Structure 1
Amino acid sequence: MTMKIFKYIGMLLVLILWSSSCQDDDISIGEIKAPSNLNVAIDITGADADNPFGDGSGEVTFNAQADDAVSYSYLFNGTLEAAPSGQKVYNFSRTGTFIYDVTVIANGTGGLSTSTTVQVEVLVLYEPPIELVNLLTSAPFRIKSEANGHFGLGPVGGEVFGEFFAAPANDKAGVGMYDDRYIFNADGTFTHIVDNTNDDPTEDPSGTVFGRENLINELNGPGSGTQNGADIENYPYSDYIGSWSITAPGGVVTLNLTGIGFIGYYIGGNHSYELFGYDPQQASNDLVLRSTDGNNEFDWWFLITPGEPGGNDANEPPFENQIWADEFDTDGAPNASNWTYDLGTGQNGWGNNESQTYTDDPSNVIVENGLLKITARAENGGYTSSRLKSQGLFDFTYGRVEVRAKLPSGGGTWPAIWMLGSNFESIGWPNCGEIDIMEHVGNQQNTVFSSLHFPGNSGGDAVTEGTIDGDVSDTFHIYEVVWSPSEISFSIDGQVFHTFTNNAELPFNDDFFLILNVAMGGNFGGTIDPGFTSSTMEIDYVRVYQ
């Protein structure tokens, strides 16, 4: 009986629809045809007769127009993005002048479309700070939910975080924001994990996100989420992969995400986030992001940070991601990409009344059989040696440095493995700070020292600890420092012998570079044995982890 009722109802609906289709006032979508006369205007920011490829910012605005088009899309680098009005801004990031192919699609009625591919040649002069790249790729980022003012909104172009609203700590718990993780991979891909709590024991890409009403529909998720005012909470969505880049249009450091890529709260727009107030020398790993929504209604603010809540962040140990190393596996002079030299006698014996002259001669410094060898020699009534440094080639803030070395011997020898603040030329020593990973003097053959020099504690007043080890000149040992915002610790072969509490008031929160040398005599090296001829520090490797 029920099936018969459904059958009659179905027949009635068919008759009604047929009758409606015959009415004179029928609503029609019009003729179905593909768009035509597709034209694309290209505006390279800063381009003129003298700068045909732009001002170096890499910013290009595309404007598409076509007859009978109802919307537009752009395809670049494998990513298709909607641009309903026909306008699309790209921020190209590859340093240099390159030609890019961009496909523009005009969408018409009935699913018909017309496309064209245009070429644009763009100059990019900007290179992102290596500190920022290292930070972004160091660990997954998240919204810093435990902080007051981690999410907010204000007027377009406003200068105050969350001028209209700034969320208190954990204010948006349970809406699909705090369990998201944003991974900036070193190969330029961007991975958005929409729920980091459901991947144990097996990976589950499903989750929910948080966004603005209407705009969040651009995601085309499988559900609608829950509306709360103008917010859409727990909108169903899955993990996805896009790309990221850093540009600086108008001199403002900007993080760009491709496709629908977003952080924290979906607002549409251009998917670019200004790093508000970013300073490469900042001690904090937190980043403040600002972006204008797709309605051009508000600027939205986000505070993101690496690491998990209540746990170690990317600047706290353990440091296990190797970011730099020299294994000394090529015979000859040290790798010029890693090392340069201090040469000569230095002012006042390199500040310590030292007796050696530093050279880059192979008799003083050479790589042989997988080892860097720095040799101090008695020559012509004096002494020669060598001092290598990574200044201008490699520096870093926080991490773990591991050096496997065998030390020289003999009264007056003073080998050191150490680091100096990269800003020492501008602010001077000891203001820049100094971290001595290993110091040894032949006049105290059985003792190895580590020291920290900073204002009020420098020279003979440095914070120093020593440890007894009787075979440092006969056997290789691993000398290590673990350096974080909260602590600096020193060890030999994994045994910590010196720990120092770091804080934001000290100079140990900025970039440092590496130094390897063997000095002779001086304030710490002491009296040189009259019978000294030569002795060598051998280094198997230098490795840096973050």
Structure 2
Amino acid sequence: MKNILKISLSVFMLVFFMACTDDDYDIGEITAPTNLQVETAILGQSDDMPDGDGSGEVTFTATAQGAMTYKFIFENGTEVTTASGVYTHPFSETGTQTYNVNIIAYGPGGTASSTSVEVAVLVTYEPPADLLEKLIGDGAKEWRIKAEAAGHFGLGPVGGSIPTEWYGAGPNEKAHTGMYDDRYIFEEDGTFVHITDITNDDASGTVFGRAPLVEQLGVSCDCETEGDDVLNIPYDDYTENWSISAPGGNETINLTGIGFIGYYIGGDHRYEIFDRSVPNELIIKSTDGNGDFDWWFILTSDSGGGAEEEFVSEYNELHREFNFDTDGELDTTVWNFETGNGEDGWGNQESQYYTEDNAVISGGNLVITAKAEDIEGFDYSSSRITTKDNFEFTYGRIEARAKLPEGAGTWPAIWMLGSDFDEVGWPQTGEIDIMEHAGNEQDLIHGTLHYEGRSGGDADGNTIEVDGVSDDFHIYTVEWSDEHIIFLVDGEVFHTYENNPDSPFNKDFFLILNVAMGGTFGGEINPDFVESSMEVDYIRVFQ
């Protein structure tokens, strides 16, 4: 039900004339907007729930004759300007509260008319204590853009559920923009502090934003641009207010005024929390003021500047080792060959046909070779081997020392699937990708988990840059327990997942090794590709 409020309050006019003694200019009649009216629609409002459904969302619709823009001013300091006169505001104070909202209609020449409305709104949502603790910490926790992670900044379709679906920045790709030295503090009293350059002692720095929306910041500068991006806009530290709401059940950070994170995009200054399962990390998204894109950000409260705590494994007793010391064929009492192209290229549109001939033991290494050749109607051959039904285990430290193939389109992987795969299917069974690599991103290593709700392009993982993955052997490790799953390369931690009793990662898994070609991850294959191999020195499981 809509509550139509037609309130006529004081109307003010601001009309400015410029004239000189000898000249008489006729600029025509300038009048303020008239008949300013405001409708409010409280989400879920009904005869039984006059104050709404508890979500706290209210849509304001302002109309006035001669109006060009409308500004909504809320008691918590939020100010929003819109040309349409329509704005949906998330109130967050728990209980039924009555709010006074001021609305200004602006006309030509700076003229304006104003009115105000009162609206009573019910809010039943209370932010969970663990989220508040994560955001606030001891009251001085500083958040930053996680520049070292792939996809720390990017965009996708409005309403999308795949982070950076259309574009994701590579590690430190935006170092020249004025974004990485910003810090964001969520104080316990609801104050949001944006430090625009943590590296200096001045209360000033630079920020990064999208044209023409950055004009809302009120800064005039001859700043460098890259397409629609405006770089290094001079801007002082500032404070706004923050709150948490959950429209549609989605936890959301609301910032007042011009408060923003990472990249100024205007809009409603709301950042939906997409994922907060990783310690000291948040994945958030927000729709820009043009309604063109959802912009994605990875935040971290790790300082990024100090020495990393040395990783210490809790598993030190060798349980099983595959060292491939004897040249010849693979031990088929342990390893199974999976042949063919599977269904739809093993579900990934892969271009290779797997055989039993492309995996051999040579020179003390297991060698899996992808080749360009005509075979069974496919253009490439390779091998895929597993320990399914022969060697399956729960928890431990898994180490694989390997040198990876090279060439655009190659896709080597050392990974694991749940032993109940045949019964429950994928991704319900769970998948642990100890190492994945795409030849199109030569020195970028992926460590990833797939499970129900986080699979495919929306998987739970991270990346790390490692030099010379196709020239030298490196050690790829997963530490897997009932409390966490930690991914490492050469002893350096780059992703951590907090395990829980409801996850699929608390049962037996088996090992898989393969080299795929192309597909959804491997990407475009170099037309000059001939062959390349993954060489595995050993695989060790400690428990």
| TM-score w.r.t. length of structure 2 | 0.52
| Matched AA of 1:60 | V
Q: Is the 8 A contact 1:149 1:303 kept in 2?
A: yes
Letter in 1 for 2:481: E
Task: For 2:288 and 2:66, locate their aligned partners in 1 and report how far apart those are by CA, in whole Å.
Answer: 28
Q: How far apart are residue 310 of structure 1 and its match?
A: 3.6
Cα 1:163–1:106, aligned 2, differ >3 Å: closer, same or farther? same
Residue equivalent to 2:317: none
Contact 1:104 1:117 in 2 (8 A): yes
- Local SS of the residue matching 2:62: strand
TM-fit CA distance, 1:184: 0.4
In structure 2, the residue matched to 1:56 is: 54
Does 2:142 align with 1:140? yes
Distance 1:43-1:183 versus aligned 2 partners, 3 A rule: same
Is the CA contact 1:65–1:86 (under 8 Å) kept in the aligned structure 2?
Answer: yes
Residue type matched to 1:101 in 2? N
Aligned in 2, Cα 1:306/1:503: closer, same or farther, shift over 3 Å?
Answer: farther
Q: Residues 66 and 196 from structure 1, CA distance in 2 versus in 1: closer, same or farther, beyond 3 angstroms?
A: same
1:100 alignment counterpart: 99
Question: Residues of 1 paired with 2:285 and 2:274: CA distance?
Answer: 6
Alignment of structure 1 residues 374-453 onto 2, 5 Å: none
The residue that corresponds to 2:85 in the other structure is 86
Please give the residue correspondences for 1:202-351 in structure 2 after superposition, counting only pairs within 5 Å: 204-278=202-276, 282-311=277-306
2:481–2:499 contact (8 Å) kept in structure 1: no
Tell me, what secondary structure is at the counterpart of 2:70? strand
SS at match of 1:237: strand
Distance 1:504 1:60, change over 3 A: farther
Equivalent-residue separation in structure 2 for 1:300 and 1:268 (angstroms):
11
- 1:129 is displaced (CA, Å) by 1.2
1:189 corresponds to which of 188, 191, 195? 191
Q: What's 2:154 paired with? A: 152
Q: Which amino acid aligns with 1:103?
A: N
Query: Aligned residues: percent identity?
Result: 52
Q: 2: distance between equivalents of 1:206 and 1:504?
A: 44
Is residue 162 from structure 1 mapped to residue 164 from structure 2 by the alignment?
yes
- Tell me whether 1:72 sits opposite 2:70 in the alignment: yes
Alignment-derived partner of residue 481 in structure 1 = none
State the partner residue of 1:118.
117
Q: Residues of 1 paired with 2:280 and 2:482: CA distance?
A: 17
Q: CA 1:114–1:504 in structure 2 vs 1: closer, same or farther (change >3 Å)? A: farther
Distance 1:134 1:510 in 2: 19
CA distance in structure 2 between the aligned counterparts of 1:151 and 1:124, rounded to whole angstroms: 32
SS at match of 1:178: coil
Distance 1:18 1:165, change over 3 A: farther
- Read off the aligned partner of 1:217 and give its amino acid letter: E
Q: Which residue of 1 aligns with 2:176?
A: 174
Q: What is the CA distance between 1:504 and its match in structure 2?
A: 6.4
Map of 2:322 onto structure 1: none
**Post-superposition offset of 1:156:** 1.1
Asked if the contact 1:224/1:236 (under 8 Å) is kept, the reply is no
Deviation for aligned residue 1:313 = 9.6
Residue deviations 1:133-180, cap 9 Å, x none? Answer: 111112110000011110011111111111111101000002110011
Q: Is the 8 A contact 2:33 2:105 kept in 1?
A: yes
Q: Structure 1 CA distance, aligned partners of 2:279 and 2:227?
A: 34
TM-aligned CA deviation for residue 507 of structure 1: 3.0
Query: 2:371 matched to which residue of 1?
Result: none
Mapped partners of 2:284, 2:161: distance in 1 = 12
Letter in 2 for 1:72: Y
* SS of match in other structure, 2:176: coil
Q: Which string of whole-angstrom CA distances, capped at 9 and with x for unpartnered residues, describes residues 317-346 of structure 1?
A: xxxxxxxxxxxxxxxxxxxxxxxxxxxxxx
- Write the distance in 1 (CA, Å) between the matches of 2:133 and 2:307: 17
Which residue in the other structure is 2:417 paired with?
none
The 1:254/1:79 distance shift into structure 2, 3 A limit, reads: closer
**SS state at 2:297 partner:** strand
Q: Could you tell me how far apart the structure 2 residues matched to 1:79 and 1:296 are? A: 20
Question: Alignment partner for residue 505 of structure 1, among 481, 502, 507?
Answer: 481
Distance 1:145 1:179, change over 3 A: same
Contact 1:222-1:237 within 8 A present in 2 as well: no
* Corresponding residue number in structure 1 for 2:410: none
How much does 1:18 deviate?
Answer: 8.4
Secondary structure of the 1:276 match is strand
Aligned-pair distance for 1:108?
Answer: 2.0
Q: 2:200 corresponds to which residue?
A: 198
User: Quick check: 1:269–1:292 contact (8 Å CA) kept in 2?
Assistant: yes
Distance 2:308 2:270 in 1: 25
Asked if structure 1 preserves the Cα contact closer than 8 Å seen for 2:43 and 2:55, the reply is: yes
Unaligned regions of 5+ residues in structure 1, if any?
Answer: 1-16, 317-430, 432-501, 512-546
Deviations 1:509-541 (A, max 9, x none): 689xxxxxxxxxxxxxxxxxxxxxxxxxxxxxx
Shift of 1:51: 1.2
With over 3 angstroms needed to count, the CA separation of the structure-2 counterparts of 1:284 and 1:312, relative to structure 1, is farther
The answer (yes or no) to whether the contact 1:154–1:161 under 8 Å persists in 2 is yes
Distance 1:100 1:132 in 2: 26
Aligned mates of 1:274, 1:51 — CA distance in 2: 26
| CA deviation vs aligned residue, 1:376-420 (integer Å, no higher than 9, x gap) | xxxxxxxxxxxxxxxxxxxxxxxxxxxxxxxxxxxxxxxxxxxxx
User: Which whole-Å CA distance do the structure 2 matches of 1:57 and 1:152 have between them?
Assistant: 29
Q: State the number of aligned residues.
A: 301
Q: Retained in 2: the 8 A contact 1:306–1:313?
A: no
SS in 1 for 2:44: coil
Q: Report the Cα offset of residue 46 of structure 1.
A: 1.1
**Separation in 2 of the partners of 1:67 and 1:309?**
54
2: CA distance between counterparts of 1:75 and 1:504? 51
Query: What is the RMSD of the two structures over their aligned residues, measured on CA atoms?
Result: 3.0
Q: Which amino acid aligns with 2:242?
A: W
